[in-house]
Amino acid sequence: IYNTVSFKEAGGKVFLSCPITARVTDVEKHNTLPALYTIELKHGEFTWKVKKKEKHFMELHRELRTYKTFVKLKLHPHSHTVRRTTVPKSEATQIPNLPKGGEEEGRGDTVSSRKKQLEDYLNKLLKMQKYRNYHATVRMCSKARIFSVIRFLEEGIVLKRSGGHRIPGLNCCGHRKMCYHWSKRWLVVKDSFLLYMKPDSGAISFVMLFDKEFSIKVDSKSTETKHGIRVDSLSRSLVLKFSNYRHARWWGQSLEKFAHDHGSAFLKDHRYGSFARVEDDIPAKWYVNGKTYMEDVADALEEAKEEIFITDWWLSPEIFLKRPVVEGNRWRLDCILKRKAEQGVRIFVMLYKEVELALGINSGYSKRTLLQLHPNIKVMRHPDHVSSSVYLWAHHEKIIVIDQSVAFVGGIDLAYGRWDDKEHRLTDVGSVTFSEGSGSSQAAPANGRDVIPKSNGNTIFTVMDSRDQPKLKGKRKKSRFSIRKRLHLTHHESDSDSERSTSVRSLNTGVGELSGNTRFWHGKDYCNFVHKDWVQLDKPFDDFIDRHTTPRMPWHDIASVVHGKAARDVARHFIQRWNFTKLVKPKYRALSYPFLLPKSHSTAGEQRYKVPGCVSARVQILRSASDWSAGIKYHEESIHNAYVDVIQQSQHFIYIENQFFISCADNKHVYNKIGDAIAQRIIKAHSEGKKYRVYVVTPLLPGFEGDINTGGGSAIQAVMHFNYRWVCTHGGGGGQMFSKLWINYFSITGLRTHAELGGKLVTELIYVHSKMLIADDNTVIIGKRFMKNQKKITQCRWRRKVTQTQEQVLNVGNDTCYFGTVEERCKAVTGKETCRVFRCLPSSDVHSIQELEGYLAQPGLDKENPALAQEELKKIRGFLVQFPLQFLCEQNLLPQIGSKEAMVPMEVWT
């Protein structure tokens, strides 16, 4: 599908080495009209039917005789000469005879014998290599060249009317009768979509996916044309025109029957209103933090044979997917993609096109960098804010699909700051030494780090940052070689929490042991976005904060991988977005940016590669989608519906991790009902006297640049206002109820860690970016859905969610015992030790901006008594701390009138 040719191009092939046979199965006679022959064609495992008249056989025979004459007289184009060299001499002048007949022989007693004659003629023709791939034969068999390996097929020439797309924004052309025009196209119908192509170039011009609104209408009132049919879906109303009513009715009936026979799964409204159905026995796996996720992504990308789909809110081409970096650039994202593109894999990337005044993720740089790697890499950015009238909303999904068979879905961008593991290190100053028992090795620069060999009996390799390394001269400079082929790291996370440390550690490699503080985050990857947001992203290996004085901000996130039919559904979503973006942005309408086609679900079980460590699960793909993001008629909010239903149906507990906790619908600024569902479920448990628990983990501060020591700035405060409103006693609404009941039913916490940097104790919050809900230990929703304004999300943002369920029953017969352990651990986690040592923020001891100065003026134990501070920190186990519910509780956190944040619509913060 990526190298289409004209239907008349002699070099193309439709019917390959597998034999093709024809059988005339039926003849239709309508009064004085010519007979219509139904021909069933079989090519390997593929079978389809066409309807032809006697005149079509006559026209084919005439074209073949003309073609034969041109070849014999050498009056043909050069392409025929090239083709002729591959044809056996015995076939050079052969052509089957078409027995004389006519329209009159298609009637009466001669019907049976004429059927046999035409069937024999067609079979003889299809056995001849010279003629069976000739464009006239292909047209007679209604077969397009690019679909010789697609099962479940109907196709043929039609006239299609322009327009009918659902394109929001400033796109008014082609939506009125006066703007319509008709074009001849080759229509193809497959088991989950239909498309049409330009016969002159063979290029795919449009793809319509089957969905719950797919329908066929055959009448002049619906089509506004004579002898037409209208094909409707959520994305378009497509009008086709035919030569007569009988032809139109046959096409309409065939399309409808074909869609219901082979694509019925896509024509239904599935659970939660999702576009995808529930799939059983799907190999699936989930990831906590980015380390193992990116490692599996890297391995899966290496296994790609045909296609790679990637969409991210932010993508940094120079990030390393496997760390520490001991194999040079082998596992750097841009190097992996370039390597696969050179192997012939087609790579399609979609990025969110940010409002540059508000965000500094520089998607333009990411696009340019990827496009320069190889022609097989195509990158789109969306939306164009002016033409689409989209200013306040964003694509925020993160998915990677390999060969439409393996799909990674979750919250982890392939971007700076996302790689982390369970240790959540605060420091990364570098300095690695390599020791080897015997023998010699080589060393060389490995992306910002230079490895310098020293010889003293045993070989020692010192790895340091290029910024700190002295310049080498003379022979020593020449002694720096490549270690890419020498070092092969095998690293695994330990299952023991006791190994958590930021001091000296070691890593086993294929040729020795790395010891010391390995540098994991290079250049822009070392970040603390509350301290300072990213700058100069076109200089990826230059630090932008001082790693010797400022701790990084650890990143906690969740992701998953699915295979088979669930992966097909993820790919289908990507394809719908890609094709819509190609349609609405003129710069992408060139043939170099092709329309994408979903693979058949019937072949989803043919998996060439499966991610290790998967388990069998019941999976459904959910999303939020709308007109501006996918070009569909209705908003899909299956994620929101799933959250509400799972909460309502939960029996014992729910556990939520989310980047935001903005809920409690007021139908003004916040529309999602998740907070209301939680409140109602708690009220139900309270009225019934049953045990029920809600556990929430969310960031201690919003992820915006700002100095929390002075209140954090208007952006941070605005998000804090809506976060606190639902859970705090000063917030009103649901918060009033929780002031009495929350301690018995509701627990909200954050994550924080500490370390030693430059001889001083430091602390920082761990940024919770995950979006996940677990209910009763048998259902989990993983993906990219904010606990924010769901109505606005469904109208403006794409979110991908994977719902996974395990058929098991949670044994909580002794619920006091079951919940007791969890409750005791939560009650033990207060964060007081951390506040006593560091006087850190946010803290419930600070109720207003005026109290900040006095609170910070009192030094913590880290400055007054470092030894005692160390003893206090030893009491802390893990990262969990209670959320500071009273922080700035006496302060109005909404943006002040006159500030730039106050000029932004309130929906931005919700």
DSSP 236-249: BEEEEE-SSHHHHH
How many Å apart are CA 724 and CA 731, to the nearest integer? 6
Choose the final residue of a domain: 242, 269, 296.
269
Which amino acid appears at position 299 of this protein?
Answer: D
Average pLDDT value for residue range 233-256: 87
Residue 694 and residue 780 in one domain: yes
- Residue 391 is predicted with a pLDDT of 56
Choose the final residue of a domain: 482, 508, 533.
482
Among 43-52, 146-155, 617-626, 879-888, the minimum mean pLDDT is found in: 146-155
Residue 45 and residue 83 in one domain: yes
Nearest Cα residue to 378 out of 421, 428, 438, 337: 337
Check residues 100 and 510 and name the one with the higher pLDDT.
Answer: 100
Q: Is 70 exceeded by the pLDDT of residue 903?
A: no
- Helices 713-727, 734-745: crossing angle, 10 deg rounding: 70
Number of H helices, E strands in the chain: 25, 34
Residue 135: left (phi > 0), alpha (psi -120 to 50), or beta? alpha
How far, CA to CA in Å, does 617 sit from each of 205, 254, 409, 855?
38, 37, 15, 51
Asked whether residue 733 is domain-assigned, the answer is yes
Write the pLDDT tens digit of every residue in 363-380: 889 999 999 999 999 999
Q: Which of helix, strand or coil describes residue 761?
A: strand
How many Å apart are CA 524 and CA 535, to the nearest integer? 8
Q: Is 80 exceeded by the pLDDT of residue 120?
A: yes
Q: Is 70 exceeded by the pLDDT of residue 108?
A: no
Average pLDDT value for residue range 857-878: 87
How many Å apart are CA 316 and CA 279, to the nearest integer? 33
Element (H, E) at 459: strand 458-465
Phi then psi for residue 749, to 5 deg, are: -135, 170
DSSP 496-528: -GGG--SS-EEEEBSSSEEEE------GGGS-B
Number of domains in the chain: 5
Q: Which of helix, strand or coil describes residue 747?
A: strand
Sheet holding 46-53, edge to edge: 20-28, 36-43, 46-53
How far, CA to CA in Å, does 59 sit from each of 14, 54, 135?
20, 9, 13
Q: Are 218 and 208 in contact (CB under 8 A)?
A: no
Radius of gyration of the chain measured on its C-alpha atoms: 33
CA 80 to chain centre: 44
Write the pLDDT tens digit of every residue in 642-696: 999 999 999 999 999 988 777 655 555 556 788 888 888 988 998 998 999 999 9
- Residue 424 is predicted with a pLDDT of 94
Q: Are 816 and 794 in contact (CB under 8 A)?
A: no
Residue 805 and residue 839 in one domain: yes
Residue 140 and residue 172 in one domain: no
Asked whether residue 540 is domain-assigned, the answer is no
Residue 147 and residue 181 in one domain: no
Among 229-233, 275-279, 745-749, the minimum mean pLDDT is found in: 745-749
Residue 791 and residue 853 in one domain: yes
Q: Which two three-digit tokens encode residue 123?
A: 């079979």
Q: Are 726 and 663 in contact (CB under 8 A)?
A: yes
How many Å apart are CA 651 and CA 494, to the nearest integer? 34
How far, CA to CA in Å, does 589 sit from each of 158, 188, 203, 584?
22, 20, 11, 9
Q: Which residue has the tokens 């906590």?
A: 288
Write the pLDDT tens digit of every residue in 517-562: 678 999 999 999 888 888 888 898 898 999 999 999 999 999 999 9
Asked whether residue 92 is domain-assigned, the answer is yes
CA 892 to chain centre: 39
How many Å apart are CA 522 and CA 90, to the nearest integer? 68
Strands (E), 564-670: 615-625, 636-637, 653-657
Choose the final residue of a domain: 96, 116, 151.
151
Residue 342 and residue 414 in one domain: yes
Asked whether residue 543 is domain-assigned, the answer is no
Nearest Cα residue to 801 out of 631, 620, 574: 620
Among 120-129, 130-139, 221-230, 333-342, the minimum mean pLDDT is found in: 130-139
Average pLDDT value for residue range 375-393: 75
Confidence band of 290 (pLDDT split at 50, 70, 90): very high
Asked whether residue 491 is domain-assigned, the answer is no
Residue 772 and residue 839 in one domain: yes
- Residue 317 is predicted with a pLDDT of 94
Q: Is 60 exceeded by the pLDDT of residue 221?
A: yes
Q: 317: domain range?
A: 283-420+556-595
Cα dihedral value 130, 135, 136, 140, nearest 10: 100
pTM of the predicted model as reported, rounded to 2 decimal places: 0.79
How many Å apart are CA 124 and CA 21, to the nearest integer? 9
Check residues 815 and 340 and name the one with the higher pLDDT.
Answer: 340
DSSP 129-146: HHHHTSHHHHHHTT--GG
Domain with residue 302: its CATH number is 3.30.870.10
Kindly report the number of other CB atoms within 10 A of residue 229's CB atom: 26
Write the pLDDT tens digit of every residue in 159-208: 888 888 877 654 444 445 556 888 888 888 888 999 988 887 778 889 99
- Residue 781 is predicted with a pLDDT of 93
Asked whether residue 428 is domain-assigned, the answer is no
Q: Is 80 exceeded by the pLDDT of residue 289?
A: yes
- Sign (positive/negative) of CA torsion 659, 823, 886, 711? negative
DSSP 169-227: SS--TT-SGGG--EEEEEEEE-SSEEEEE-TTT--EEEEEE--TT-EEE-SHHHHSSTT
Q: Is 50 exceeded by the pLDDT of residue 355?
A: yes
Write the pLDDT tens digit of every residue in 137-156: 777 666 544 443 344 556 67
Domain with residue 214: its CATH number is 2.30.29.30
- Residue 592 is predicted with a pLDDT of 85
Asked whether residue 502 is domain-assigned, the answer is no
Residue 469 and residue 396 in one domain: no
Asked whether residue 873 is domain-assigned, the answer is yes
How many Å apart are CA 502 and CA 755, to the nearest integer? 7
- Residue 368 is predicted with a pLDDT of 94
Residue 89 and residue 176 in one domain: no
Residue 229 and residue 287 in one domain: no
Q: Which residue has the tokens 């100069």?
A: 536
Q: Which residue has the tokens 């003893």?
A: 871
Residue 137 and residue 163 in one domain: no
